[in-house]
Amino acid sequence: MLRKLEFVLRRLLTSIFVLVGVSIITFFLARVVPSDPAELYIGPKARAADIARVRKQLGLDRPLPIQYLYYMRDLLRGDLGTSIGTKQPVLQEIMNRSTASLELLFTGMFLAALIGVPLGVLSARWQGKFLDVVVRTISILGVSMPAFYLGLMFQLVFFRNLHWLPVAGQISTSLRFTHPIRPITNFLLVDALLTGNWIAFKDVCLHLILPALTLAAYPIGLIARMTRGAMLEVLEQDYIRTARAYGIKDGVVTYLYALKNAISPTLTVIGLTVAFALTGTFFVEVIYAWPGLGSFTVKSLLNIDYPAIMGITLFGASAYVIINLVVDILQAWIDPRISLK
């Protein structure tokens, strides 16, 4: 137990160092790379006097290390700058929109793991048989498909042709008036559940399906392949032979003895796909008009809303570091060998 805590502490420390490094790189991109950061911060319609003021404000006339200190001071105070587009503090914009994106991200990754891992396991179990071929085909199609394209195709097929699912948005606009959801956590699904608002719940679900599946396509492909690979490798190990030598039933051997060993590299892959999914939300949200962080990012990119873009980059990278930390700790809990390195 003590060893595991030590591991957690060490990983935490590493993460903090990485976060500092991330801030340095973002600072570099934000202040050092552009030819005139002040101009970018104020927007294209600024006057010379305003530019000079912002330049002073950002401390651009000071030496770099001092600039960085100001930057860090602002960061730790939660000041990520002000969005040119909305005139609101960037951090606030991020927080407002995070819940919608998180809902999409969680659902997408949940689907990806739910579908991807079993597909990979079954594919390894029935290696060479038809199921294996099917899964491998699905995997490679999934990792080759551009997310934005898939989204558009889904809209075409499921909305226009089949009329099964709504085309965009998080919830039908009419429902905002007839069955509004009382905000508790700001997660629509959760709130609808908590307040017993079944009609809204069903509606949000329908709206969530296509975006989540679009987001999950690439992760499903990747997770299925990697799980299959990890399982195949594990199934060749001596300890599996031992288990069979003692007559342990095939189901137990595959789904318990082998899987628990294969789950560790699988978790690593899931962690990596979260990175993809994070950036995937940009495309998915734009296409499905999802009011989340992704569509805000794309809007900021189109408008060259510099403070917003840099703030989002920092936020996104930090979130990713934290997610990886969680995944690593999960792995250490499952595989007793890891924490003892």
Partner 1 sequence: MAAIPVLAVEPEIQSTRTFRHVLNVIVRDPLALASTIVILVFILMAIFAYQAAPYPLEGAGKTNVANSLLAPNAAHPLGADRLGRDVLSRVIMGTRPALVVPIGVVLFAVLIGAPLGAIAGYKGGWIDEVIMRITDLFLAFPSLLLAMAIATALGRGLHNAAIALVVSWWPWYTRLVRGVTISLRERYFVEAAQATGVRDSVIILRHILPNTISPILVQATVDLGTVILAMGGLAFLGLGTQPPAADWGLMVSEGRDFILKQWWISTFPGLTIFIVVLAFNLLGDTLRDIFDPRQYK
Partner 2 sequence: MTALLEVRDLYLEFKTSRGKLKALNGITFTVQPGEIFGLVGETGCGKTVTGLSILRLLPRSAALVGGQVLFEGTNLLDLSRSQIESLRGSKIAMIFQDPSTSLNPVFSIGSQIERVIRQHMHVGRRQAHEKACSVLAAVGLPDVERTLGSYPHQLSGGMQQRVMIAMALSCSPHLLIADEPTTSLDVTIQAQILKLLRELQKKFAVSVILITHNLGVIAQTCDRLAVLYGGRVAETGSSRDIFNQPQHPYTRGLMNAIPRPGGRGARMATIPGTVPSNPGAMTGCAFAPRCGSAMPRCSLETPPLFTIGENHSSACFLAERK
Residue with Cβ nearer partner 2 (7 or 41): 7
Quick one: which of 4, 11, 22, 106 contacts partner 1 (CB under 8 A)? 22
- Calculate ∠ Cα 70-74-77, nearest 5°: 140
User: d(Cα 181, Cα 187) in Å, to the nearest integer?
Assistant: 10
Quick one: which of 116, 211, 265, 292 contacts partner 1 (CB under 8 A)? 265
Quick one: which of 320, 329, 330, 335 contacts partner 1 (CB under 8 A)? 320
Q: Which of residues 103-142 bind partner 1 (CB under 8 A)?
A: 140-141
**Any contact of residue 152 with partner 1 (CB under 8 A)?**
yes
Find which of partner 1, partner 2, none residue 335 binds, CB within 5 to 8 Å per kind.
Answer: partner 2
Three-state SS for the chain is CHHHHHHHHHHHHHHHHHHHHHHHHHHHHHHHCCCCHHHHHHCCCCCHHHHHHHHHHHCCCCCHHHHHHHHHHHHHCCCCCECCCCCCEHHHHHHHHHHHHHHHHHHHHHHHHHHHHHHHHHHHHCCCCHHHHHHHHHHHHHHHCCHHHHHHHHHHHHHHHCCCCCCCCCCCCCHHHHCCCCCCCCCHHHHHHHCCCHHHHHHHHHHHHHHHHHHHHHHHHHHHHHHHHHHHHHHCCHHHHHHHHCCCCHHHHHHHHHHHHHHHHHHHHHHHHHHHHHHHHHHHHHHCCCCCHHHHHHHHHHHCCHHHHHHHHHHHHHHHHHHHHHHHHHHHHHCCCHHHC
12 contacts: CB under 8 Å, gap ≥ 6: 325
| Least gap, CB of 35 to partner 1 (angstroms) | 9
Residues in contact with partner 2 by the rule CB under 8 A: 237-239, 241-249, 252, 257, 260-261, 334-337, 340
- Using the rule CB under 8 A, give the single segment among 53-61, 80-88, 320-328, 329-337 that binds partner 1: 320-328
| Least gap, CB of 225 to partner 1 (angstroms) | 8
Quick one: which of 213, 226, 243, 270 contacts partner 1 (CB under 8 A)? 226
Tell me the one-letter amino acid at 133. V
Residue with Cβ nearer partner 2 (45 or 337): 337
**Any contact of residue 257 with partner 1 (CB under 8 A)?**
no
Quick one: which of 77, 160, 163, 341 contacts partner 1 (CB under 8 A)? 160
Residue with Cβ nearer partner 1 (248 or 323): 323
**Any contact of residue 185 with partner 1 (CB under 8 A)?**
no
Q: Which of residues 52-71 bind partner 1 (CB under 8 A)?
A: none
Residue with Cβ nearer partner 2 (130 or 246): 246
**Any contact of residue 237 with partner 1 (CB under 8 A)?**
no
**Any contact of residue 284 with partner 1 (CB under 8 A)?**
no
| Least gap, CB of 267 to partner 2 (angstroms) | 13
CB 165 within 8 A of CB 158: yes
| Least gap, CB of 227 to partner 1 (angstroms) | 10
308 contacts: CB under 8 Å, gap ≥ 6: 81, 83, 84, 85, 90, 93, 296, 297, 300
Question: Treating both helix axes as pointing N-terminal to C-terminal, what angle do 259-287 and 293-303 enclose, rounded to 10 degrees?
Answer: 50
- Using the rule CB under 8 A, give the single segment among 42-50, 177-185, 207-215, 227-235 that binds partner 1: 227-235
- Using the rule CB under 8 A, give the single segment among 68-76, 91-99, 297-305, 332-340 that binds partner 1: 297-305
Binding-site ranges for partner 1 (CB under 8 A): 18, 21-22, 25-26, 29-30, 33-34, 140-141, 143-149, 152-153, 155-156, 159-160, 167, 225-226, 228-230, 232-233, 265, 275-276, 278-279, 282-283, 287, 297-298, 301-302, 304, 306, 309-310, 313, 316-317, 320-321, 324
